[in-house]
Amino acid sequence: MSVGTQERRSLAGLFAAFQRIGRRINIVPYLFILPAVIIYGLFNLGPVLASMVLSFFKWELLTPTSQFVGLKHYLYILRDKLFWNALSHNVLFLSMAVIVPVGVGLFLAVFMAEIGKGRTVYRSLLFLPAIFSGVVIAYVWKWIYHPFSGILNQLLGAVGLDFLTMSWLGNSRIALVSTFVAYAWASYGYSMVIFLAGLQSIDREIYDAAIVDGVNFFQKLFLITVPLLRDVFTFVITLRILTAMGVFSVIFILTGGGPYYATDVIGVYIYRMIGNYEMGWASAAATINAIIIVTMSVLFMRLREREL
Amino acid sequence: MINAKAQSWLRMLTFHVLLVVGSIVTVIPVVWVLMTSFKSNKEIRESALGLPARIRFENYVGAWTGAHFDRYFVNSVIVGVLTVAVVLIVGSLAAFAFARMRFAGNRAIFFLIFMGMTFPVTARIGPLLTFMYKLGLVDSRWALVFAYAAGSVPFSILMMRSFFRQFPEELEQAARIDGCSNLQFFLRVLLPLSTPALLTLGIFTFMGAWNEFMIALLLISKNALRTLPLGLMAFQSEFTTDFALSIAGINITAIPVILVYVIFQRSFIEGITAGALK
């Protein structure tokens, strides 16, 4: 048997196999997912992957060229002090976020689960800031921080703490915390709602048994409630990873990253690069940031799953 | 016994006090902004904390005529409604397949879509811009609709999939015996039973589109096409020294959201917890 016929025969076999699979494949499910896949592929996953690929090429806004530049953009970004400066602020945001939106949200939810009546009123009020756009949140706080007529300095003055009044957004040592407060204000209600839903799904009998054993509030919280809320914690913290590492509008509007880059974050850093048409740098920085975020959240979720 | 009762009463009181304090601290900025919007600049300068001398709407009139909030409002509504329409249609169609059909590659495709929930906007913004330029969609509402819908697809599928899975197998079998095709079962049986979930998803998606800023900032430059967050930013940078007017501008954009929240509060909360507890 010559090589040619063998090849021909295997090709025919392959074709027949495809036909068999083709007849067995039900295309209906694919038709159902097709519109979603097209929109998601064209305007979300596609651009994300394109950004990764294009970060290795010389690239202007309208003309992605085929000139391969290798790791040039990455080396530039990794040597840029401003990149590390911005990234460190994101990480600081995230570590503060674990304390305030997550910690405060948990305590608020626990208090609300304990009291019977009035729960919905508290929930409505505490959740309220979470409904606003980052732009609205930022402008509300911009006026709160206003040096003369802002409510913060006015309140401090009214209670005789004049020495504490300051330029909350102009002082480079305090500006990052000031922007964080605006971010946190709109976040703890969000975490609280999730924790509360988790708490309400816990079987009350577990608590009844504990009360008989005479545990106090904190023992009950940390020995019973928190371990039972593992999955909820995973979700809430993952959410904070995403929002703290991706924070943009609050900082962009409150400080624009200033004064002197004291509140610069990756989102604003990348926005500046796009504004300067430095698409190669921007996509390299965006890729690094995306890898950090996706790895952090996937690792975190996986780790929690395995621990269970 | 009395001691224990007193103790539990004291505990409840402590919780209430803490929650009241928390609620007040949370609401103060909103109340202050509302209050200040009724003051004149002179009043604000003299006493930023005091109540307004009278309820005056001059600031609102000034803000409304000083900027094109009506136009921004209409733009935001159009973009929001179209985004919701696209997401509800494509999301529930896909979720139906993922929830109730078996097909090769379903887990891999689902995972790729699910990953999208963790992508930051910056990860796609560059090529998205270039792509929109190539499509001639820059400075068009459709650019925002597609970009927002693509961002909401992962959550919509995740949420509707777990909702569709709750229905028993018997329901589908009964529909089949009556001669329903897949699409008929989906349209005539499943969707009507899913209106609460669709409402939640719709509200949630609408708010996401309504509040989005970064993509709009980069894709829209024409004043006539600005959505509210962009309009508010333009307004604030124009009247940066007029305290009263700026505050009224914030309220014009915030009050509709508060109204939607008051009416659809349950949907907001359900949208958030749907992602968490599944």
Nearest to A195 by CA among A157, A223, A226: A226
Instruction: Tell me the mean pLDDT in the region A60-85.
Output: 82
In a shared domain, residues A149 and A216? yes
The per-residue pLDDT for A304 is 67
Lowest mean pLDDT among A188-192, B21-25, B233-237: B233-237
Q: Give yes or no for residue A182 having a pLDDT over 50.
A: yes
Residue A87: give its domain's CATH number: 1.10.3720.10
Is B150 in the same domain as B235? yes
Query: How many CB atoms lie under 10 A from the CB of residue B223?
Result: 13
pLDDT at res. B86: 96
Looking at residue B177, its pLDDT comes to 85
CA-nearest of A286, A288, A267, A113 to A201 is A113
CA B210, CA B261: separation in Å to the nearest integer? 13
Same domain, B170 and B154: yes
| pLDDT for B4 | 73
Residue B155 and residue B112 in one domain:
yes
Domain check: are A83 and A7 in the same one? Answer: no
Same domain for B115 and B33: no
A10 and A101 belong to one structural domain: no
Chain B positions in Cβ-Cβ contact with residue A294 (cut-off 8 Å) = 115, 118-119
Query: Is the domain of A89 the same as that of A34?
Result: no
- Identify whether residues A25 and A100 lie together within a single domain: no
Same domain, A148 and A242: yes
Confidence band, pLDDT 50/70/90 cuts, at residue A6: low
Whole-number percent of chain B with pLDDT over 90? 22
Residue B50 pLDDT exceeds 80: no
Q: Are both B139 and B239 inside the same structural domain?
A: yes
Among A136, A169, A266, the residue to mutate for chain B (most B Cβ within 10 A) = A136
Which of B59, B85, B108 is the last residue before a domain boundary?
Answer: B59
Residue B263 and residue B214 share a domain: yes
B77 burial (CB, 10 Å; 0-12 / 13-18 / 19+) is middle
Q: Cβ contacts (< 8 Å) between B221 and chain A: which residues?
A: none
Q: What is the mean pLDDT of residues A219-246?
A: 84
- Of B35, B59, B83, the residue at which a domain comes to its end is B59
Q: Is residue A69 part of a domain?
A: no
Q: How many structural domains compose chain B?
A: 2
Is the per-residue pLDDT at B270 higher than 50? yes
> Cα separation of B74 and B69, whole Å?
8
User: Based on the domain organization, do B51 and B105 belong to the same domain?
Assistant: no
| pLDDT tens by residue, B119-170 | 889 889 988 988 898 888 888 899 999 999 999 999 999 889 888 888 888 8
pTM for the structure as a whole:
0.86
Q: A123 to chain B: nearest residue by CA?
A: B23
Residues of B in contact with A61 (CB under 8 A): 129-130, 133
B37 and B77 assigned to the same domain: no
Domain boundary among the residues B13, B42, B59 is at: B59
pLDDT at B237: 81
For residues A187 and A293, membership in a common domain is answered with yes
Same domain for A198 and A282? yes
A43: chain B residues, CB-CB within 8 Å: 124, 128, 131, 146-147, 149-151
- Is residue A10 domain-resident? yes
Structural domain that includes position A271: 75-307
**Cβ neighbours for B205, distance < 8 A, ≥ 6 positions apart:** B83, B84, B87, B88, B148, B152, B156
The residue range of the domain holding B51 is 2-59
Write the CATH number for B232.
Answer: 1.10.3720.10
pLDDT (0 to 100) of residue A173: 83
pLDDT cut 90: percent of chain A above it = 24
Mean pLDDT calculated for residue range B22-33: 89
* Mean pLDDT calculated for residue range B226-252: 84
pLDDT attached to residue A20: 66
Tokens representing B245? 């007017």
pLDDT for the residue A201 = 80
| B109 and B230 together in one domain | yes
Lowest-confidence region among A192-196, A278-282, A301-305: A301-305
pLDDT at A1 over 60: no
pLDDT, position A252: 94
Residue A278's pLDDT band (boundaries 50, 70, 90)? confident
pLDDT of residue B264: 85
In a domain, A256, yes or no: yes
Is A87 found in the same domain as A50?
A: no
One domain for residues A27 and A146: no
Claim to verify: residue A8 and residue A143 sit in the same structural domain: no
Contact B26 A125 (CB under 8 A): yes
Structure ipTM: 0.87
Average pLDDT score over chain A: 83
**pLDDT score, position A305:** 65
**For A191-225, what is each residue's pLDDT tens digit?**
998 898 888 888 777 777 766 667 777 777 887 88
What mean pLDDT comes out for the span B99-108? 86
Assess whether A158 and A291 both reside in one domain.
Answer: yes
Q: Are residues B137 and B216 in the same domain?
A: yes
Count the domains in chain A. Answer: 2
